Structure 1
Amino acid sequence: MRLEGQVEAARFVAGRPARIAAAIADVRGAPRPDAGLSTQMMRGEDVVLFDEAEGWCWIQSERDRYVGYVADTALEPRGGAATHVVSVPRTFVYPGPDMKLPRGDALSLGTELVVTGAAETRGTAYALLASGEAVIARHIAPVGRHAADYVAVAEELLGTPYLWGGVSAFGIDCSGLVQLAMHMAGREVLRDSDMQAATAGEAFDPGLDFADLARGDLVFWKGHVGIMLDATTLIHANGHTMMVSREPLREAIDRIGYLYGGPTGFRRP
């Protein structure tokens, strides 16, 4: 029912709670494996399941209300609330509390987990999951413990490959970088750059020659967003370097302007 008035459909249903079980679930615009990637959701993310047919599920994220199709194997029933979140760019899940065991999933920064216990093996501390699996305890933080500086989080992702629709430390796009970094700092924004350009923080005028830009400010172009590292340098996931990279703002404006025009707006979260 929550989608009524937002999408066209012959009928609307209330939906039922579910949770992402896959380390990274691709969310597509159509129920086909060759459909384009709209976004992704990470293990532990709560969703509402509205429809299921032929191996595909139509879902909506509880966090940012994004909708799309995921494979039915990517979902599981919703259990207890997450207790911890992965706080490093990437980590592994092991079948038990021993790093010498064959690793299972690789998890991204921002993945939410339900920790049920603790163990130590050869001096390494592990957090135990209900499944019996284990993760390195130093690689997670309690839910509610937020980074002080969302820009510093973005800097931890330098070199991450660019992926259209990506949201994780395995592949990320421009607005995904903004969303993930802010999420780790306890600040929620919407998924796409046009949504962020309309709602993230407050719009402002950067002044003559962009003199009033500061660390953390967002710079928007048509279909793109970057984060200011300081008054003159941008960090962004971009298709030019095909990774998260630093770039002088002036150089980015000149390069992007050749195809897409100049900045369309500035916001201070």
Structure 2
Amino acid sequence: MNALPDRRLFAYRPDLAEEALRGTVAAGQYVTGTPARIAAPVAALRPRPDEAAGIDTQVLFGETVRVLDRADGWAWVKSDVDGYVGYLPETALEAAPETAATHIVAVPRTFAYTGADLRTPAAFALSIGSRLTIVGESETRGTRYFTLEGGQSVIAGHCLLVEDRASDDYVAVAGRFLETPYLWGGRSGFGLDCSALVQLSLMMTGRSAPRDSDMQAAGLGTPIAREELRRGDLVFWKGHVAIMEDETTIIHANGHTMSVAREPLATAIERTGYLYQKPTGYRRPF
């Protein structure tokens, strides 16, 4: 008997499934979904439409999704960024724009201000990776601001064109998250988990990665031996991933410090042995 597709990446329920699964899973109806855009600064994606349910991942301001169903104030969506499927409040969505985002936030965290002046109140905060559509720009006391569709302003120097890269060195990007709080399922500059650190850091260098550590361990890059480890390689445990900063040191979002932290690999292996055993593998992501 064939195994069912991974529910994290394929949308199906007894009553409804995405059109791509027609002939693979049984469902009462198949839909292609309708496009929408994330209007909240960060929206949690959950495995069921329940605020008490744990967070599987998060989607960021300006990212786009396909809406497969809406009911009781919840939307069942599939992310266009990494294919993740889950439920979020309908209030986190707005209609998809006719034009794509022009810019991306390139610093771990920033603010959208009510006016083009840092002295005006902040309307909301934005995470690295948030997509923005810029409709104008201005300058106040030597600081350039971009104007968003909603009329808010962001610091121009905190943004890049969507086609540009924050860096060619994703480890350097990961290092900018040091001391960011650990959050299970988190995928933003306000809090993130181990695999999101990998995914976001790679994304800001123009590379894509699966969302969860088991997905990354199964197919991101190529396997290597421990003796080959160098800067940028990945170390996997069951349920965890870390980035090699150099041949002996890792950067990882972890539940021990509850933050993104730097640690000797040997120390991490010894410290986590009772819980996670030894590393399960090593990979070079590109």
Common fold by TM > 0.5: yes
Partner of 2:12: none
Displacement of 1:5 after TM fit? 6.6
Q: Partner amino acid for 1:127?
A: F
- AA at the equivalent of 1:137: A
Match of 1:26 among 38, 44, 60: 44
Measured against aligned partners, the alpha-carbon deviations of 1:149-200 in whole angstroms (never above 9, x if no partner) come to 0000000000000000000110000000000000001110010000000111
Letter in 1 for 2:38: I
Q: Percent identity?
A: 56
Structure 1 residue 138 corresponds to structure 2 residue 160: no
Rate the CA distance shift 1:38–1:262 in 2: closer, same or farther, 3 A: same
The answer on 1:124 being equivalent to 2:140 is no
Matching residue of 1:95: 114
* CA distance in 2 between partners of 1:268 and 1:74 (Å): 36
Cα RMSD over matched residues? 1.2
Distance of 2:24 and 2:58 partners within structure 1: 20
| Deviation of the 1:203 alpha carbon | 0.8
Secondary structure of 2:196's partner? Answer: helix
Taking the aligned partners of 1:185 and 1:85, their CA distance within structure 2 comes to 12
What does residue 160 of structure 1 align with? 180
Given residue 233 of structure 1, which amino acid in structure 2 is its aligned partner? Answer: T
Residue identity matched to 2:155: I
Deviation of 1:206 (Å): 2.3
- Indicate the SS of the match to 1:263: coil
Aligned partner of 2:37: which letter?
R
Q: What's 2:64 paired with?
A: 46
**Structure 2 portions without partners, runs of 5+:** 1-18
Deviation at 1:145, TM superposition (A): 1.0
> Which residue does the alignment assign to 1:169?
189
SS of the residue corresponding to residue 270 of structure 2 reads helix
C-alpha displacement of 1:134: 0.7
Higher alpha-carbon deviation: 254-263 or 65-74: 254-263
Q: Measure the CA separation in 1 of the matches of 2:214 and 2:23.
A: 20
Structure 1 alignment gaps of length 5 or more: none
Q: Where does residue 17 of structure 1 map in the other structure?
A: 35
Corresponding position: 1:198 with 2:214: no
**What TM-score do the two structures reach when normalised by structure 1?**
0.96
TM-score (norm 2): 0.90
Cα shift at 1:93: 0.2
